[in-house]
Chains A and B, each alone.
Chain A
Amino acid sequence: MSLAPSPLLELQTVSLRIEGKLILDQIQLSLHANEIITVVGPNGGGKTSLIKLALGLIRPSEGKVQRRKGLRVGYMPQRLMVDNSVPITVERFLQLAGGRRAPIADTLARVKASAVRHAPLQSISGGEWQRVLLARALLRKPDLLVLDEPAQGVDLQGQQEMYHLLGAIRSETGCGIFLVSHDLHLVMASSDRVVCLNQHICCSGAAHAVARHPEFLALFQNSSAEDIGIYTHHHDHQHD
């Protein structure tokens, strides 16, 4: 091991064009183990493309995406569309990722989805899907966890639980977490860095704990809200 560990993932001045249209413009980003980066930005700002680049699903038009050798990636997409013709339960779906001896019961309990263990995959709700997909990603014991809008369609309570869980997983396993959120202002408080993406990186910085914000404290009736953070954008430029 070298003294300065190499990043799990590094985007070196990456640009992406699709049919001539510039989608991402010279993105420079690196993610280390034990680090959480949240990417926020408007729809059409290139968040999904960034995730696909990071996962190696698409190639950049310019620049380089460097992943550490032997990197184990756990990916949590937004939701899967599984054809009704496939007879498959949540448990079997998870076995496909982790193998038959995988700690499926424990992992499901961890993401609070034990109730759907024997349910057909097509019958579970949007919120349950996200937990199941997170369980699947965790079963792969990833070095890098990539999440596409993990808190979408979930209420603030659920969002807080999800963020709390992700924070705990990071502390336990030391994995890097790369997550994308459509919410411009409410982010995971334990994010080490928040990156605002609109074709290029508009700004990036630390999230401030929501806990200090009186209005959010009121919203949670003084229950613990420290898992959700607020990100104040400090843009140094304007788009027309």
Chain B
Amino acid sequence: MIELLLPPLLVGLLLALISGPLGAFVVWGRMAYFGDTLAHSALLGVGLSLAFGFHMLVGVALVTALVAIVLTLPSSQRYFANDTLLGIMAHGTLALGLILVSLAGNARVDMMGLLFGDVLAVTWDDVRFIVAGSALVAVTLLFTWRALLSCILSAELSAAEGVPVERLRALLMVLLALTVAVGMRVVGALLITALLIIPPAAARRISSTPEQMALKASLVGVIAVSLGLGFSWYLDTPTGPSIVLAAVLLFMGIHTLAPERAAR
């Protein structure tokens, strides 16, 4: 049994560890909808990989990274608010992705697995990609932490102090894209943003520094992934939704039980 459970557990825990700090930035920077857009566009990555025959995770990583960079380009758009544009991008890429996937032949792809995750089907090949991706995200975050935090608190002040704000923003988006690629295997394209947002939101209540929030978010994520995988294994529930539900329960538990702080 352990041989069957080891790859999914490894992948799930890695995802939880990196989405803690990265998710904290998503929450602080109000970028939840950016995350969603990247996740939707991941389906286009899947469609393209099937059409051109390369590894699915490579396709996903490339397309989401490309969308991430497009999203950071300064737009001269003045007719719509940002969320309208994000919505167009998200659903446009999702629709195109779904069509490409279906043209490539249903038999080869488990659509439910793509949308809601199927971590129990993870192979050692996926594990290698996911370990490399997570390590890249973790190391990059570690080295750019202070500058990223500065940018989130005030982009203008940081720019005046000589921080390369635009480049850091693009970097953050690329890291998000990588995490989406990794997370798609675990919780699926439709639920990956949940894993980015819920653990940091739960951790916020019990943290008094940004670093605490990032680390506790990782911890909440690790617990949610373990509980979710457990449910899924013993009760035969879908894995992605089980993990997300565990995270939501942890969020509710922490916010109900944690003492009201004097500090907001």
What is A's interface to B at a CB cutoff of 8 Å?
55-57, 73-75, 77, 80, 82-89, 92-93, 96-97, 119-120, 122-123, 136, 140, 146
Contacts and interface: CB of A to CB of B under 8 A. Distances in A.
B28 A122 contact: no
Contacts of B162: 73
Nearest to B213: A87
Contact of B160 (A73, A80, A89): A73
Contacts of B210: 86-88, 92
Contacts of A88: 153, 209-210
B146 A87 contact: no
A170 B27 CA distance: 40
Interface string B37-59: 00000000000000000000000
B157 interface: yes
B232 interface: no
Chain A CB count within 10 A is highest, among B160, B201, B213, for B160
B1 interface: no
B264 interface: yes
B208 A80 contact: no
Contact of B153 (A93, A123, A140): A93
B235 to A, nearest CB: 33
Given A86-B210, A88-B153, A89-B209, A140 B161 contact: yes
A75 B157 contact: yes
A79 to B, nearest CB: 10
- Would you list the 5 A-B pairs with minimal beta carbon distance, nearest first? A75-B160, A55-B160, A120-B263, A87-B207, A80-B154
Given A75-B160, A85-B200, A89-B208, 8 more contacts: A57-B159, A57-B160, A77-B154, A84-B264, A86-B153, A96-B153, A120-B264, A123-B264
Contacts, number: 68
Nearest to B203: A87
A214 B28 CA distance: 52
A86 B28 contact: yes
A23 to B, nearest CB: 17
Contacts of A84: 264
Interface residues of B, number: 27
Contact of B212 (A82, A87, A123): A87
A103 to B, nearest CB: 18
Interface of B: 27-30, 146, 149-150, 152-154, 156-157, 159-162, 200-201, 204, 207-210, 212-213, 263-264
Contacts of B200: 85
B212 A80 contact: no
A71 to B, nearest CB: 9
A122 B156 contact: no
B264 A73 contact: no
A85 B204 contact: yes
B209 A73 contact: no
B22 to A, nearest CB: 14
A56 B263 CA distance: 36
Contacts of B154: 77, 80, 82
Contacts of A82: 153-154
Nearest to B78: A19
Nearest to A79: B154
B161 A86 contact: no
Given A96-B146, A120-B263, A120-B264, A87 B204 contact: yes
Contacts of B263: 87, 119-120, 123
Contacts of B213: 86-87
B204 A75 contact: no
20 contacts: A57-B160, A73-B161, A75-B157, A75-B160, A77-B154, A77-B156, A80-B153, A80-B154, A82-B154, A83-B28, A83-B29, A84-B264, A85-B28, A85-B201, A86-B152, A88-B209, A92-B210, A96-B146, A96-B153, A123-B264
